[in-house]
């Protein structure tokens, strides 16, 4: 077998995990399924991604999916090397192949591939074992320029759930999601009926009985919640990520009880994350919104990993899907132990509606806001935000005063929007039969997803990328109509100011004012 023919795959270089401990070699007999991401037949125009026009899955596949000749060539060459083609999806541009590691080495190789243990991002006291690759990937020369991404050889945990718990004595106040819908003036007469929200989960599960008990407590019929298991992912309650799963579902179900939720469980890996988002985006029926409460510092992704997921978000926008993503819970450093500024991906993609967090003091009985400021409790417990090192500044963000960050000009600023996220003023939820107070920007992404479907219900159409419309009318020091500006507080490296800032974006929603504004567009 001549493996010297293989050529480097651009953007695939990967470093070892900082806390990896080797446990041995990966057996050549281990069966692995990898995802091959193919090039588009033509690039999606910016005006389709950012504009009001939307297309169907079938139209996207025909114009911007993978070409039939490319798919046939990749399938044929994989099968010639003894591999099994397990799935093809022209719209999502994916071909999945399976075989032993020994067989896969004839078409894709890493510089190094070993078994290691690393801390579980959902519970850093727990170690998880996985495959780890380092260096570049190399692929068949026939695939060069056709296959633009390969995921699955390395299945290290890729993302963290952006959820924060607080001991009871430290909680100042707490709210049910229904309270917050009133405080943020969600449009009356809407409940999300006729719309679907996709929810991406990279671990955890739905404890039996919790949803019925929680919504009975709120006096709301239990919403429809369907489960899709992607790849090796499963609905497996008993995992540390159960809190994330239940927070997402309960916030959406309380704020958009008429909407159907589809929860996509996938392995926490670059492959699992991208496959889950793509599966959610290309579902039938097409969702109105997708909520993602998981992410990781930009520099802890490979270039190909960011590109694959960013392309899936572009597909979403073209089909009218609004993707709401938590901006992170570790302030301007996003958890970098050196304190250097970082943004969290995928929130840092311009195609994502990046959702930051506040500290809210309000009276639930009257829906009166006493004060609202940037969430920052110190010790790294703060809303995520800043300036991307990777993504250029989109045109709709050019005139709001995004600072030049990291020595680079005109980069994407994060977040776009915000809502309550401080666990000290957190959300009342039910997990494993226990009442808990939870915060984190993990709560803000589903809140904005619920608001999005209620706005879409009121106006009779989905939005896709909301940002170009939301930012219209914004200027340095000025937030546009539909937002209540947050001007107090900081996240470490950035402080709140009038207008857009890298702490809470444009501000928190005034749902009724936002509806009036969107109706006039």
Burial environment of residue 461 by CB neighbours within 10 A (0 to 12, 13 to 18, 19 or more) = middle
Helices 444-459 and 511-519 meet at what angle, rounded to 10? 40
- Look up residue 338 and give its two tokens: 């050196």
* 407 compared with 207, residue with greater pLDDT: 207
- Look up residue 380 and give its two tokens: 């790294």
Q: What is the CA radius of gyration of the chain?
A: 22
Q: Give the 3-state secondary structure of residue 385.
A: coil
Residue-level pLDDT at 122: 84
Whether 500 contacts 413, CB under 8 Å: yes
Domains in the chain: ranges and CATH = 3-151 (no CATH), 160-389+410-455 (3.40.50.200)
d(CA 521, CA 519): 6
Which residue matches tokens 């996509």? 264
With 70 as the cut, is the pLDDT of residue 169 above it? Answer: no
Q: What is the pLDDT of residues 17-37, one digit of tens each?
A: 999 999 999 999 999 999 999
Using pLDDT thresholds of 50, 70 and 90, give the confidence band for residue 1: very low
**How is the chain split among helix, strand and coil, in percent rounded to 5?**
25, 30, 45
Of 135, 269, 112, the C-alpha closest to 202 is 269
C-alpha 210: how far from chain center: 24
Whether 197 contacts 261, CB under 8 Å: yes
Whether 354 contacts 338, CB under 8 Å: no
Using pLDDT thresholds of 50, 70 and 90, give the confidence band for residue 404: confident
Q: What is the pLDDT of residues 191-232, one digit of tens each?
A: 999 999 999 999 999 999 999 999 999 999 999 999 999 999
d(CA 466, CA 22): 45
- Could you give the count of Cα atoms lying within 13 Å of 298 in the half-sphere of its Cβ? 24
Of 123, 175, 115, the C-alpha closest to 419 is 175
Q: Give the 3-state secondary structure of residue 315.
A: helix
With 90 as the cut, is the pLDDT of residue 379 above it? Answer: no
With 80 as the cut, is the pLDDT of residue 407 above it? Answer: no
Q: What is the pLDDT averaged over residues 501-511?
A: 98
- Look up residue 447 and give its two tokens: 């809140």
Q: What is the pLDDT of residues 33-43, one digit of tens each?
A: 999 999 999 99
331: left (phi over 0), alpha (psi -120 to 50) or beta: left
Residue-level pLDDT at 170: 66
Q: Give the 3-state secondary structure of residue 88.
A: strand
Length of the chain: 521
Whether 60 contacts 286, CB under 8 Å: no
The whole-chain average pLDDT of the chain stands at 96
Q: Give the 3-state secondary structure of residue 83.
A: coil
Residue-level pLDDT at 124: 84
The residues with which 135 forms a beta bridge, in sequence order, are: 14
Q: What is the pLDDT averaged over residues 161-184?
A: 87
With 70 as the cut, is the pLDDT of residue 4 above it? Answer: no
For the CA atoms of 367, 369, 375, 377, what is the dihedral angle to 10 degrees? -100
Whether 282 contacts 89, CB under 8 Å: yes
435 Cβ contact partners less than 8 Å away, ≥ 6 residues apart: 428, 429
d(CA 412, CA 415): 9
The residues with which 291 forms a beta bridge, in sequence order, are: 199, 324
- Could you give the count of Cα atoms lying within 13 Å of 29 in the half-sphere of its Cβ? 0
The residues assigned a catalytic role are: 244, 248, 442
320: left (phi over 0), alpha (psi -120 to 50) or beta: left
Which of the residue ranges 57-66, 159-168, 319-328 would you say has the lowest mean pLDDT? 159-168
Q: What is the pLDDT averaged over residues 467-492?
A: 96
With 80 as the cut, is the pLDDT of residue 119 above it? Answer: yes
With 80 as the cut, is the pLDDT of residue 129 above it? Answer: yes
With 60 as the cut, is the pLDDT of residue 3 above it? Answer: no
With 60 as the cut, is the pLDDT of residue 2 above it? Answer: no
d(CA 316, CA 280): 9
d(CA 417, CA 405): 19
Residue-level pLDDT at 406: 60
26: phi then psi, degrees, rounded to nearest 5: -85, 130
Report the relative pairing of strands 322-326 and 353-363 from DSSP bridges.
parallel
pTM of the predicted model as reported, rounded to 2 decimal places: 0.97
């Amino acid at each position: 077998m001549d493996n010297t023919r293989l050529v480097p795959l651009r953007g695939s270089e990967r470093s070892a995990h900082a806390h990896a401990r080797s446990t041995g070699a990966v057996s050549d007999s281990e069966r692995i399924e990898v995802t091959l991401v193919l090039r588009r037949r033509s690039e999606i125009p910016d005006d389709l991604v950012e504009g009001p026009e939307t297309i169907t899955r079938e139209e996207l596949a025909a114009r911007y999916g993978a070409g039939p000749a490319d798919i046939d060539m990749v399938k044929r060459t994989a099968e010639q090397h003894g591999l099994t083609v397990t799935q093809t999806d022209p719209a999502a541009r994916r071909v999945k192949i399976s075989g032993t590691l020994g067989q896969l080495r004839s078409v894709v190789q890493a510089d190094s591939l070993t078994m290691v243990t690393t801390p579980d991002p959902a519970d850093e006291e727990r170690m998880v074992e996985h495959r780890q690759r380092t260096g570049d990937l190399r692929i068949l020369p026939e695939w060069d320029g056709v296959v633009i991404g390969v995921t699955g050889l390395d299945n290290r945990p890729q993302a963290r759930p952006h959820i924060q718990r607080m001991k009871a004595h430290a909680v100042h106040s707490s709210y049910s999601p229904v309270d917050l819908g009133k405080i943020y003036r969600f449009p009356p007469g809407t409940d999300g009926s006729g719309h679907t929200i996709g929810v991406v989960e990279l671990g955890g599960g739905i404890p039996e009985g919790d949803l019925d008990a929680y919504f009975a407590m709120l006096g709301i019929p239990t919403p429809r919640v369907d489960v899709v298991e992607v790849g090796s992912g499963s609905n497996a309650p008993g995992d540390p990520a159960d809190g994330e799963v239940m927070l997402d579902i309960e916030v959406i179900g309380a704020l958009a009880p008429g909407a159907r939720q589809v929860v996509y469980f996938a392995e926490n890996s670059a492959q699992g994350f991208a496959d889950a988002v793509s599966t959610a985006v290309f579902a039938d029926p097409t969702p109105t919104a997708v909520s993602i409460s998981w992410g990781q510092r930009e520099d802890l992704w490979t270039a190909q990993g960011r590109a694959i997921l960013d392309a899936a978000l572009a597909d979403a926008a073209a089909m009218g899907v609004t993707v709401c993503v938590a901006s992170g819970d570790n302030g301007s450093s996003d958890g970098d132990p050196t304190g250097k500024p970082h943004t969290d991906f995928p929130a840092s993609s311009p195609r994502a509606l990046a959702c930051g967090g506040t500290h809210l003091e309000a009276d639930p009985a009257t829906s009166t806001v006493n004060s609202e400021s940037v969430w920052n409790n110190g010790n790294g417990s703060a809303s995520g935000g800043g300036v991307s090192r990777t993504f250029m500044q989109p045109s709709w963000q050019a005139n709001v005063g995004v600072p030049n960050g990291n020595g680079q000009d005109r980069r994407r600023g994060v977040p776009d929007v915000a809502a309550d996220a401080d666990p000290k003023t957190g959300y009342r939820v039910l997990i494993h039969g226990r009442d808990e107070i939870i915060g984190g920007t993990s709560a803000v992404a589903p809140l904005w997803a619920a608001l999005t479907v209620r706005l879409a219900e009121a106006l009779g159409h989905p939005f896709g990328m909301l940002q170009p419309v939301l930012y219209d009318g914004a200027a340095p020091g000025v937030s546009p109509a539909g937002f209540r500006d947050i001007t107090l507080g900081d996240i470490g490296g950035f402080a709140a100011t009038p207008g857009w800032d890298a702490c809470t974006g444009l501000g928190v929603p005034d749902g009724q004012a936002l509806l009036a504004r969107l109706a006039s567009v």
